Amino acid sequence: MTGQSLFREELRGVRTVVVKTGSRILTAAGHEERVGRLAADLSALRKSGARVALVSSGAIAHGMKALGLDKRPTEIPMQQACASIGQNRLMAIYQEHFAEHGTLIGQVLLTWDDLRSKKRYLNLRNTFFKLLDCGAIPIVNENDSVSVEEICFGNNDTLAAQIAMLVNADVLVNLTDVGGLYDKNPHTEKDAKHIPVVSAVSAGIQKMAGDKKSEISVGGMSTKLKAAEMVTRAGIPALIGDGFNQRLLTVLKEESGATLFLPSDKKIPARQRWIAFTGQSVGSVTVDAGAYRAITEQGKSLLAAGITKVSGKFNAGDMVDIVDSRGEAIAKGLANFSADEVEAVRGCKTAEIARRLGAVRFNEVILRDNMVVV
């Protein structure tokens, strides 16, 4: 058991912690002191028995500083250059501060492709678990020096949520420059009231989030709420708290230092999280009203008889969307057959599948255990 005195009451029993820290915390004036405090607190968590991973922004920002840039460049090649220069500097800072506490760290740079490939996803799980078993703290960032899509549209709030699910974390902690969620912008409204606990990330909660972005960061509070929504749907609580003015241990312990987002009662099993949140669909199948009811109301697998249309080119094992007659996605899952095979048997009764395709291992096009209703 970990040193539970480090956590607020609702987080008793936490064993694996994923912490995400933003660019401003790591680059604004006084960042060396903040990084030092963060390293000390993460090391304290590790020594208490917790398994800890850190998702860190800041590479592009440190590269901008090295190149004398005041604003985040808009050109992709310059962003990549900044990331390449800055990642080295960022890890050197971390190494210096973690070494003071005798804490091992490991660098992990990822792109979406690493997570969306099921084989690479499973390999990553093995790598992370081995690093954690060795007592090391993995420091994770997007591989912005080679990726394009991630720089344009990605953010490390989403990456942190993915890592939390990857390692089966007990809590995701998202450090920013405010003490969590408020009913108004606390930077501009003196009477803004802090919200200590959120039971669900509703549309009303999303409206409270200002989406103001600094010159060095990508995300705002909106992306942090989306990350919280993702992990809480998977059964993982989330904290959004002030890592700029406060210590991580204060965010974990004090109610006033963060907003706690409670996990959903309907938790998505670990084996289905990749399907729900990470994998990328490469095609779709349209289903009739009977299959729609079987999937959404009765918890059934998808049979060939209920399929009316096949779209895209996919192979057995690929992820596909299941859509209704209006084209709206109702579920997604891993197909047992290729697109050509599904086309050959769509609308057929189960007994006809073997006659059309020869010997087959499955009667179902998508097994319920390999499907998530969206």
Q: Which of 161, 178, 139 is nearest to 46 (CA)?
A: 139
Amino acid identity, position 294:
A
Do 189 and 256 meet the contact criterion of CB atoms below 8 Å apart? no
- Direct distance between the N- and C-terminal alpha carbons of the chain, in angstroms, rounded to an integer: 35
pLDDT-based confidence at residue 210 (cuts at 50, 70, 90): low
Task: Name the class of domain 11-271.
Answer: alpha beta
Report the chain's mean pLDDT, rounded to a whole number. Answer: 90
For 1-13, how does the pLDDT look when each residue is reduced to its tens digit (9 = 90+)? Answer: 445 688 999 998 9
Q: Could you tell me what percent of the chain has a pLDDT over 90?
A: 70
Q: Which helix (H) or strand (E) holds 91?
A: helix 76-99
The pair of structure tokens assigned to 178 is: 């405010």
Query: Cα separation of 151 and 218, whole Å?
Result: 9
Q: What is the CATH number of domain 281-373?
A: 2.30.130.10
Q: Going by C-beta distance under 8 Å and a sequence separation of 6 or more, which residues neighbour residue 305?
A: 291, 347, 348, 349, 350
Tell me where in the chain the CATH 2.30.130.10 domain(s) lie.
Answer: 281-373
How far lies 251's CA from each of 226, 247, 324, in Å?
A: 20, 7, 44
pLDDT-based confidence at residue 359 (cuts at 50, 70, 90): confident
User: What's residue 219's pLDDT?
Assistant: 52
Q: Going by C-beta distance under 8 Å and a sequence separation of 6 or more, which residues neighbour residue 57?
A: 20, 21, 22, 23, 26, 141, 156, 217, 218
* Count of residues in the chain: 374
> Hey, which bits of 89-169 come out as E strands?
105-110, 137-142
With b for 16 or more beta-carbon neighbours within 10 A and e for fewer, the 289-328 pattern comes to eebbebbeeeeebbbbbbbebbeeebeeebbbbbbbeeee
How far lies 66's CA from each of 26, 84, 287, 301, in Å?
A: 14, 11, 55, 55
For 13-61, how does the pLDDT look when each residue is reduced to its tens digit (9 = 90+)? Answer: 999 999 999 888 998 889 999 999 999 999 999 999 999 999 998 999 9
Do 7 and 14 meet the contact criterion of CB atoms below 8 Å apart? yes
Query: Cα separation of 83 and 90, whole Å?
Result: 10
User: 9: exposed, middle or buried (C-beta count within 10 Å: 0-12, 13-18, 19+)?
Assistant: exposed
Tell me where in the chain the CATH 3.40.1160.10 domain(s) lie.
Answer: 11-271
The residue with tokens 């210590």 is 247
The pair of structure tokens assigned to 224 is: 């942090």
Q: Which of 209, 216, 225 is nearest to 73 (CA)?
A: 216
349-355 long-range contacts, CB within 8 A, separation 24+: 349/304, 349/305, 350/303, 350/304, 350/305, 353/304
For 288-320, how does the pLDDT look when each residue is reduced to its tens digit (9 = 90+)? Answer: 999 999 999 999 999 999 999 999 999 999 999
User: What's residue 215's pLDDT?
Assistant: 43
- Of residues 114 and 271, more confidence is placed in 114
Query: Cα separation of 295 and 146, whole Å?
Result: 40
Best mean pLDDT range from 19-28, 108-117, 330-339 = 330-339
Task: For the chain, give percent helix, strand, coil, nearest 5.
Answer: 45, 20, 35
User: What's residue 211's pLDDT?
Assistant: 52
DSSP string computed for 252-297: HH-GGGEEEEPPPSSPPPHHHHIIIII----EEEEE-HHHHHHHHT
User: What's residue 184's pLDDT?
Assistant: 82
**Residue 218 pLDDT exceeds 70:** no
The pair of structure tokens assigned to 286 is: 């349209």
